[in-house]
Structure 1
């Protein structure tokens, strides 16, 4: 799947993929369940605004650039809204960097009050971020008198701990606006939240490992259809290519046993409260073996009740 990046300029100068937030909620009286909370953060230019806009479209109350120290207060106000504000999304970024010291205290406060909260972190490669900032001809918010890459490095250092605490990391390096929205929809749409949601991503090792992968599968132990002239032009979505891959010795056995392993891992994730998993399936170029396996693996997971999204990161590359 060939992707093309589409970005709009964020008000802080970061070329995020989209913008849009709501007005603050009014303080009203009344008892209601404590709102569900999502904290959206990540690298400037990685798509925070698009992610926030997606949640807004799904009915979430979205607050942009709220100082972390005020997050518990925002949740309390939502609880007084007589059920009108049941889900709150807060965007935390480098504009509020002076408040990051308060974030741990705020999260501890939320945990003590048994607030259901998740952290979504938007990640992207240095190359993609530089390209996005250059496309809008704006500086990175933290670069000062230095280069764009200096600002990116400073921001990565600032957000390193928050990234480690994230419940969901989304790498937008090769995603366009619509693909990021599809990922957010898959994670947050619907009234009934499934026990576990999985993203199965095919990729090519020669283009690097996906940074948001929880599990990595290497399919290079199977013969490469690239060296079969009549199969080379096609991808793993082609029936003949998929048949070639899974008629090889060990292929079907691998799929069966790895599916069993995933069942064991998924049970552990559920016990630990992990709701999202990204399974990266790789081959040399990300075009044949990994694509065919990702499709089959996703189908197996879906048949077992796991909501699954398939992404083919490198399939359209030459």
Structure 2
């Protein structure tokens, strides 16, 4: 039930088969800003839901190991919650094929909680039968049979991340190789193949933020084709970084001293990416450094 109240508390009940990925889902939800509680006693659920407090997003995990776990009673409790207008309740069920679950338990050599000394597959079948009413009741079912961990993480983010949480923080920086490599660059582009304005009279004291320097760099025949390929690459890979759940992406442009070519290219790239819908922050590490001939020769 989706409440009409702007102040409603969002409750996500997360359950599923043991080994299917419930813990992974809860970890992702916590990263997305949900307050997560695992194996919370069912008899205390009524006191937690709608109790007020600061937590507007609460994800509660439970499965066959949880104290007081009776699917029929949980469903009845959910019906009571859904009748209230101060709660937005969603149930997520993490499923997985029995053969794949058996493989996972055999690999980890962990006993299945319902096997009780029997083969893992017996426990899996018993748990599946026990949880079937909850699977039918659930609002969202995610089958992880063919998922790697990062794929499950991505699906959970797609379902439960707010738009603001999905946005990746992009930083575009310029730097000078002669003054040291940036330690946190994810993507680094070397612009030293371009003609160096440092050696042009009237441009040495200026920077890549000044129009004469920008005009000189843009006029280099090598600039436009290389820059276009860099932008095409960024447009291609940045959505994939975001889809993998990256919170931060650092793109660095380097030249010799970090004052001309890298600065201009970083500014141009930021402008193009803003037009493409991204919101990059631009940092110029060495913009304030003084021009130095010995550095430019390195």
- With structure 1 as the length reference, what TM-score do the two structures score? 0.47
| Cα offsets for 1:7-45 (capped at 9, x unmatched) | xxxxxxxxxxxxxxxxxxxxxxxxx93410111011100
Aligned match of 1:108 in 74, 79, 83? Answer: 79
Alpha-carbon shift at residue 149 of structure 1 (Å): 0.7
The answer to whether the Cα contact below 8 Å between 2:75 and 2:134 also exists between their aligned partners in 1 is no
Q: Give the stretch that moved more between structures: 118-127 or 32-41.
A: 32-41
Residue correspondence of structure 1 range 129-144 to structure 2 within 5 A? 129-144=101-116
SS in 2 for 1:175: coil
Is 1:85 the counterpart of 2:55? The answer is: yes
SS in 2 for 1:170: strand
| Cα offsets for 1:241-297 (capped at 9, x unmatched) | xxxxxxxxxxxxxxxxxxxxxxxxxxxxxxxxxxxxxxxxxxxxxxxxxxxxxxxxx
SS in 2 for 1:164: helix
Gaps of at least 5 residues in structure 1 are 1-31, 194-318
Is 1:54 the counterpart of 2:54? The answer is: no
Is 1:161 the counterpart of 2:136? The answer is: no
Larger radius of gyration: 2
Aligned match of 1:99 in 59, 69, 72? Answer: 69
Is 1:65 the counterpart of 2:39? The answer is: yes
Residue correspondence of structure 1 range 159-238 to structure 2 within 5 A? 159-191=131-163
Gaps of at least 5 residues in structure 2 are 1-5, 166-298
Distance 1:140 1:59 in 2: 31
Is 1:151 the counterpart of 2:140? The answer is: no
Distance 1:49 1:93 in 2: 11
The answer to whether the Cα contact below 8 Å between 1:55 and 1:89 also exists between their aligned partners in 2 is yes
| Cα offsets for 1:213-263 (capped at 9, x unmatched) | xxxxxxxxxxxxxxxxxxxxxxxxxxxxxxxxxxxxxxxxxxxxxxxxxxx
The answer to whether the Cα contact below 8 Å between 1:42 and 1:48 also exists between their aligned partners in 2 is yes
The answer to whether the Cα contact below 8 Å between 1:68 and 1:99 also exists between their aligned partners in 2 is yes
Alpha-carbon shift at residue 69 of structure 1 (Å): 2.9
| Cα offsets for 1:122-157 (capped at 9, x unmatched) | 111111101110111111000012111110000001
The alignment of Structure 1 onto Structure 2 pairs a total of residues equal to 158
Is 1:123 the counterpart of 2:90? The answer is: no
Distance 2:162 2:115 in 1: 40
Distance 1:125 1:99 in 2: 22
Alpha-carbon shift at residue 97 of structure 1 (Å): 6.0
Q: Which stretches of structure 1, 4 residues or more, deviate above 6 A after TM superposition?
A: none
- With structure 2 as the length reference, what TM-score do the two structures score? 0.50
SS in 2 for 1:96: coil
